[in-house]
Structure 1
Amino acid sequence: MTACASFPALGTTAQVVVTDPGVLDAAAELLRRELGEVDLACSRFRPDSEISRLHRAAGRPVVVGPLLADALEAALRAARLTDGLVDPTVGAAVRELGYDRDFAALPEDSGSARSEAVPAPGWHRVMFDPATATVVLPRRVHLDLGATAKALAADRAAGAIHRTLGCGTLVNLGGDLSVAGAAPIGGWRVGVGDDHVTAADRPETTVTLYGGGLATSGTTRRRWRRAGETVHHIVDPRTGRNPAGRWRTVSVTALSCVDANTAATAAIVLGESAPGWLAARRLPARLVASDGAETLVAGWPRDEPAEPAVA
């Protein structure tokens, strides 16, 4: 038997599922606390966040707190592993696309014309010493940790809940999933689809997880219009623009949610060459093209017909 709780957080829906119903309330409270701390450390929309203070101190060495240090280390590792396809210095590019506030507060169409694209300055320009948690952020370099921070929050929360309460745990943050501890009998049944909101009731496919993480990146959810043009939140750091629309969603499983989300985002940016890139790294993945055609790589299973327990 499992028990589930969900609530809005980080501009999406947070869900925790535990194998011991008696600790559900405590698990939900731990998740709320973790997400609140992540938001205070990493949100570029909050003037009181630690990352906003880091931007204001650009050009000077700053010692950051443990959570932001973890988030920066994860973001820079993602950039290194993907040769810059996932790059935390896309902040100015994302803002130029109009994503300059919490997604729920974005207007349907800003009406303002877009200016020149803003390619990412490059993750290598961020000087970070993990041993001392010291960061030097160059002036005019703006960070956006969106490609890794939510996935990191899922990994951290699942681990913390399992360690504290001793139960098997699944945390789902808008399609970024992480599991810790012993899975229920038969594993965690997870529905996968373009929209995490409807995937539980109407999954496009269903998989079983026993450990690690699963993440879905896509262009169908966080979309808005800028001067009449539809844009979305995934940016090609090389151009500062949305990548060509080869894939509408990519789902990946890996040893952690951070690694899964890093690979899924990189695949959206890569476009046509994504299946080969994922296969070379032995990352099971499901890629759905803009016309709905499905490509499975590296052992991603064919559809499991049973109903999912979570999505």
Structure 2
Amino acid sequence: MSTPTPPGAPSPDAVRAPAPDLQEEARRLAERVHREVSAAAAPERIDSELSLLNRFAEHEDVDVVVGPVLAQLLAAALQTTRLTSGLVDPTTGDAAWRAQDGLPARPAPGIAHLDLDLPARRLRMRRGTVLDLAGVADAWAADRTARLFAEGFPGHGLVARIGGVLAVAGPPAQVAALAAAPGPGPSPALDPGLDAAAWTVLLAAGHRGLAVLPRPGSALVNPVTGAAAESPWDRVVVAARNAVEAQAYARAAHVLGGDAPGWIAACGAEGEFTGARPGSTLRRRLRTPGWPGRPGRAAA
């Protein structure tokens, strides 16, 4: 079986703070959160809680008390499924493996196979369920880093980025300047291309999470069919209240396809969608009405 993409480790520029001492504190926070998430949900670690759960569920139903980080990740994953009406689903682990290995598609069992008592951190999972939390783990880690920094250093701005997911905390003007500042940064494919004025617009609308998701190929499947999502978009950028929601909507957009711009706008998020026109090599860029800059139509 192929291995799902693991949660991303913090890069050297994973956090941006307004002063060197705050930068160092933020870096320590990001590394701490990464260690917590890796121990809980890294699929490449045979000793992570998630790997153990998936192995146990191959043979029997699982009824177990999970750690606090994994419990929060599972709660976030279930939230993304509800937010996206099932377009994003944590039970697609087996379907994603099959898609990557070229095997016949098999629909995801769905979150009805999971029962999470969050206060007690008790998880019940039916036999045969394979969880994939990679996408939500990156987003949750970014949100948690930003939240911990805000609690420890109120009044100071922070930008926390893991992979193509970004979360911010602090005064909007400071955050906008930090987010737009040039730096070594991610690859061009993961650069949202937003200046400080654009960030100011998004922050004023309450959007403190952003996800940049290129066409994911076989790594993202349609939970209903189990087949790899056939997205018309080369890249989707979504801004939402937090990184978990932004990542969920961006993944859902690739599954949903051409109807995604209007759907994203109806969900209260904003997005930019780039891809070739059907039957043409010409590229198009669609934006939801509230996306900064010249608004495009919300749907094709």
- TM-score normalised by the chain length of structure 1: 0.79
Q: Which runs of 5+ in 2 are unaligned?
A: 1-6, 277-281, 295-300
Contact 2:84 2:252 in 1 (8 A): yes
Tell which deviates more after alignment, 129-138 or 67-76.
Answer: 129-138
SS of equivalent to 1:275: helix
**What is the match of residue 300 of structure 1?**
291
More strand by share: 1
Aligned length in residues:
268
Cα distance between partner residues in 2 of 1:181 and 1:143: 34
1:69 and 2:71 aligned: yes
Contact 1:154 1:177 in 2 (8 A): yes
Cα distance between partner residues in 2 of 1:212 and 1:56: 36
Contact 1:120 1:238 in 2 (8 A): yes
1:215 and 2:211 aligned: yes
1:279 and 2:278 aligned: no
Offset of 1:183 from its aligned partner?
3.7
Cα distance between partner residues in 2 of 1:22 and 1:131: 36
Cα distance between partner residues in 2 of 1:36 and 1:57: 23
Offset of 1:137 from its aligned partner?
1.2
Given the superposition, is the C-alpha separation of residues 271 and 44 from structure 1 closer, same or farther in structure 2, using an over 3 Å criterion?
same
Given the superposition, is the C-alpha separation of residues 190 and 265 from structure 1 closer, same or farther in structure 2, using an over 3 Å criterion?
farther
Cα distance between partner residues in 2 of 1:187 and 1:217: 21
Select 1:83's aligned residue among 85, 108, 129: 85
Contact 1:267 1:274 in 2 (8 A): yes
1:127-161, Cα deviation, whole Å (9 max, x unpaired): 11112111011111100012311101000011112
Offset of 1:22 from its aligned partner?
2.1
SS of equivalent to 1:179: strand
Offset of 1:186 from its aligned partner?
7.6
Matched residues, percent identical?
34
AA aligned to 1:51 is: L
Contact 2:88 2:251 in 1 (8 A): yes
Cα distance between partner residues in 2 of 1:267 and 1:190: 25
Select 1:120's aligned residue among 99, 108, 118: 108
Cα distance between partner residues in 1 of 2:56 and 2:255: 31
AA aligned to 2:210 is: L
Cα distance between partner residues in 1 of 2:158 and 2:193: 24
Cα distance between partner residues in 1 of 2:230 and 2:290: 26
Q: Which runs of 5+ in 1 are unaligned?
A: 1-8, 99-112, 223-230, 304-311
- TM-score normalised by the chain length of structure 2: 0.81
More helix by share: 2
**What is the match of residue 257 of structure 1?**
243
Offset of 1:293 from its aligned partner?
0.9
Offset of 1:274 from its aligned partner?
0.7
